Amino acid sequence: MAGMSSFNAGGVCVVIGSTGGIGQALLTALQTSTAFAQVIPLSRQSTPALDLLDEAQIESCANYVAALGEIRLIIDATGLLHNERLQPEKSLRQIDAVQMAESFAINAIGPALLMKHFLPLLPREGKAVFASLSAKVGSIGDNQLGGWYSYRASKAALNQLVHTAAIELHRRQPAAICVALHPGTVHTRLSSAFSKSGLEVQTPELAAERLLDVIDRLLPENSGGFFDYRGESLPW
């Protein structure tokens, strides 16, 4: 895995959404690294618990992590593409207001609240990163196929939130980095049902390794950007 040598040793790392496919792989890889003194998993099942739909829990978890030491890396590995109630729309007639609101709650509003409570905790000096997992289908410039209205729009909203937060973050903590990352197609419960032939489908472990390598190579001037798992910039 990536050595994460660009970070000051001894800091705290946080993986939010640590029970998901990519989140678990990221957590395992980071726990085997010596780059951080502590690697903290947060999810609805963790102690303390973090539910993206509960701002009080988000604030409580931020306070809990802040007491552990300098926070050097926060990875938001949350996301919702489908569940038993929600499926990606193939046409306008399938848009449902309640389902769209659920998609925005998890993919945009929840991460915005994470940034609200966790970004101020990043140190003023030395490398520190907040990385939120987005999706290439959230790119407006890259959209050639249409469909998937709720997921596309919520991830596009996430990208805007990350970019906007990065501008504010730079004023207070110019060395800190806030980015959106596209992990590619990964064999997880979230995307496996929608994988198409011709796409490279990665294992969660490979996806985690690639994402951590990108994070390790990030510089302050990359803050506010949208990058894929190879580190290449994606269109908005």
The pLDDT tens digits for 57-66 are 999 999 999 9
Question: pLDDT (tens digit, 9 = 90+) per residue, 122-144?
Answer: 999 999 999 999 999 999 999 99
Which pLDDT band holds residue 150 (cuts at 50, 70, 90)? very high
pLDDT in tens, 39-61: 999 999 999 999 999 999 999 99
Q: Is the pLDDT of residue 192 over 90?
A: no
Pick from 18, 128, 23, 27: nearest CA to 73: 128
**What pLDDT, on the 0 to 100 scale, is given for residue 193?**
54
Q: Taking the domains of the chain in order of start, what are their residue ranges?
A: 11-228
Burial code (b: 16+ CB inside 10 Å, e: under 16) for 33-69 equals bebbeebbbbbeeeeeebebeeeebbeebbeebeeee
Is 234 within 8 Å of 137 (Cβ atoms)? Answer: no
Mention every residue, 6+ apart, whose C-beta is less than 8 A from residue 26: 15, 18, 75, 77, 208, 211, 212
Contact 229, 210 (CB under 8 A): yes
pLDDT of residue 198: 57
- The pTM score is 0.93
Closest CA to 134 of 22, 9, 10: 22
Q: Tell me: pLDDT of 176 over 60.
A: yes
**Residue 167, pLDDT above cutoff 80:** yes
CA distance 173 to 153: 29
Which residue is it, tokens 């994460």?
4
Q: What is the pLDDT of residue 79?
A: 95
Q: Does residue 111 have a cis bond before it (omega within 30 degrees)? A: no
pLDDT in tens, 9-29: 999 999 999 999 999 999 999
Phi/psi of residue 216, nearest 5 degrees:
-65, -30
**The tokens 């790119």 sit on which residue?**
139
- The runs of H, that is alpha helices, within the chain are 21-31, 55-66, 97-104, 110-118, 149-172, 204-217
- The CATH number of 11-228 is 3.40.50.720
User: pLDDT at position 191, please?
Assistant: 55
Q: Is the pLDDT of residue 172 over 90?
A: yes
Residue 194 has pLDDT above 60, yes or no: no
Q: How confident is the model at residue 3 (pLDDT cuts 50, 70, 90)?
A: confident
Cβ distance 21 to 78 under 8 Å?
Answer: no
Residue 157 near residue 108 (C-beta atoms within 8 A): yes
